[in-house]
Amino acid sequence: MTTDLNTLLTALYVKIDDEIGGTRWMGRPPLLSDSELVCLAVAQALLGYHSEARWLRYANKHLSDMFPYLPQRPGYSERLKSALPLLKRMIRELAMDSDFWTDTVWIADSTPVPCGMSRPTVQRSNTAGWSGCGYCASHSRFFWGLRLYLVCTPTGIPIMWALANPKIGEREVLAAMLEVDADLVAACSGILLITDKGFASKPFEKDLAEQGIELLRPSLKREKKRYGEPMLKKVRQLIESVNDTLKGQLDLERHGGRTFEGVAARVTQRLLAMAAGIWHNNLIGTPVTRSLIAYDH
């Protein structure tokens, strides 16, 4: 197997079709199947087309051999939003099908997902009430939007993720994520969860310990040096590089979503594109599993 976009999309199509067993419809089936829709969405994210109109013009010209039928922009947008459960399911399926699913070292962090850059946009946005004003300490800037909370392996395979209002506490969101996926946490023994100082809390650490999770984080100024802290700097750089992949290569901050469903679908689309790249690189034995360079052209 080779590392190019056509090979990835072919392998992904087969994987999706096997998992969903083919789409069954009441009446006439759609001209663009669910498997084709997901592959089309992954290709859009990998090729860096954050505008759906520009993407469909490109796909009609260059990808007609792989996708004989392509809907108009409104139809594609609606199909993508309605496919959100399938997109989320395929992230988990690809993760479970990789060699990294059994990794018990998890890295957790949050990163801003802006949903508006001006006051008029904020006032008109349909995400108001879900989005809010937050502060990004890494870039020393305020933003209006959401925070993406991502728990992944050191290779970048998403284990669990969530979008939340930036005014909600980080520990509260992570605790809710672990509660929702309690069965997954219970099935994994000896989890080492690596975070930053924002997750520091003795009650939170106690709750994690009760779930069989050991928390590794930097010590606060008033604390003694914590066990394992010297290795944190290199490991913490991994989650920053994962966020950089999502933002630099997959245009996470240029998602273009204007509604609750639109933002959720487009963020999920980018997480799925990253997971698909890692999954395929692992499948064919590529040394650098999170490299997407072979698929971005």
Helix residue ranges, H only, the chain = 5-20, 34-46, 52-62, 73-82, 84-96, 119-124, 170-180, 182-187, 202-210, 232-244, 260-284
pTM of the model: 0.93
- State the Cα–Cα distance between residues 133 and 114, nearest whole angstrom: 9
pLDDT value of position 25: 60
Q: What is the pLDDT of residue 170?
A: 92
What pLDDT does residue 97 have? 95
What is the model's pLDDT at position 127? Answer: 82
Segments of the chain with pLDDT less than 50: 1
pLDDT value of position 220: 81
Burial classification of residue 79, based on how many CB atoms lie within 10 Å of its CB (0-12 exposed, 13-18 middle, 19 or more buried): middle
* Pairwise CA distance, residues 176 & 9, whole Å: 34
Q: At what angle do helices 34-46 and 5-20 cross, to 10 degrees?
A: 150
